[in-house]
Amino acid sequence: MNQAGHDQRLQGSVLVADDVDIMRVTCQRALEREGLEVVTVASGREALKALDLRRFEVAVLDIRMPGISGVELLKMIRGRGNPGEIILMTAYADAGVAEEALNFGASAILIKPFEDIRALVETVKNCLARVRLCQGNSNASQGLEPVLLNAGLLDEDQVARALAEATATGKSFRASVIALGLADEDEINWAVANFLDISYVRLTEEMLDHDLIKNFPPRLAREYRCIPLFKSGSALHLVTADPFQPGAVKAISEALEVEAVFALADEGEIQRLFTRFYGSPGVRPLADWANRMPALETSERASALAEILAAGELTEVGRLALEPIGRDSYNLEFKATIKARSE
């Protein structure tokens, strides 16, 4: 088996807050052995001070601490709009506290003392994978790699092959996995849906509520590339090919005063129906395109350029050249300033 897979170390920052010295030291040593940067504090107030100084990708908080409890700290962090992953630890099993914590966005709740410290390490590793996916990593390997490994779709040798292919060709990690025949689009989608604990649907037009789509703000649909599926009580279920968009759930929930719930669907199905109901996907916001540009493959650039030009207005053209390079083919070069269209 490829040794590179065994030697690969994690990257990321973790804050550990626990008033018990030995627990802080145990957590710190276990996580640092994986290559993570770990900061430890002994109280909720110290945790808030640490969070004021910098952002952590994962926070591990003891529920029972003097002064500010872990649950209170969780609420404060979420109130500040911090998108990081938060793991709570407790030595006291309390279903009410656990439900409250999960409702306020806790990623996981672990019971201590740990029978095996690997339980903490694996939970932190999964949280970091979700962070990488939500950041829209240009390679996406740091997020998809543990997802596909945990699902048993790839082994470490195959991950190394896909990484090498991505480096050599400039393709995304996902596209490289598919190009090498290691997994297909459907298998990857199932793995991602299971990892994020969301539904993966086979989207057809017959499944959609046309009245619901008609009343759903096109701006939100275009910004977050989603289609409303159905409404159940206060929950609005939507389908998307990209469930990792930061802020999508919060923005839609607040704008429509609903609980937004995302499901995953195939990119081709989403694109076909999105165009059917909302027109060309070229109205995707320019800010979104700016974030997506590093991940674009060569084959996607032509359609991306057309959609970008449709999403904005050229305000200044500094260079414009069109030179014939063959029958019915031309080399186009230009440099311009583009301004987002107001809806």
Residue range(s) defining the domain that contains residue 157: 136-196
Q: How far apart are alpha carbons 106 and 86 in whole angstroms? A: 5
**What is the distance between the alpha carbons of residues 149 and 183, in angstroms, rounded to a whole number?**
12
The pLDDT score that the predictor gives to residue 310 is 66
Residues 41, 114, single domain; the answer is: yes
- Same domain membership, residue 91 and residue 39: yes
DSSP 327: T
The span from the CA of 45 to the CA of 155, in Å, is: 43
pLDDT score at 228? 94
CATH number reported for the structural domain that contains residue 35 in this entry? 3.40.50.2300
Count of structural domains within the chain: 4
Q: Out of 279, 298, 316, pick the residue that ends a domain.
A: 279
Q: What residue ranges of the chain have pLDDT lower than 70?
A: 1-9, 79-83, 93, 132-143, 244-246, 279-285, 296, 299-300, 303, 310-311, 341-343
Whether 27 and 54 map to the same domain: the answer is yes
- 4-33 pLDDT, tens digit per residue, is 333 456 778 999 999 999 999 999 999 999
Q: Give me the phi and psi of 338, to 5 degrees please.
A: -120, 140
Q: Give the pLDDT score at 166.
A: 79
Q: Given the structure tokens 């949280």, which residue do they identify?
A: 127
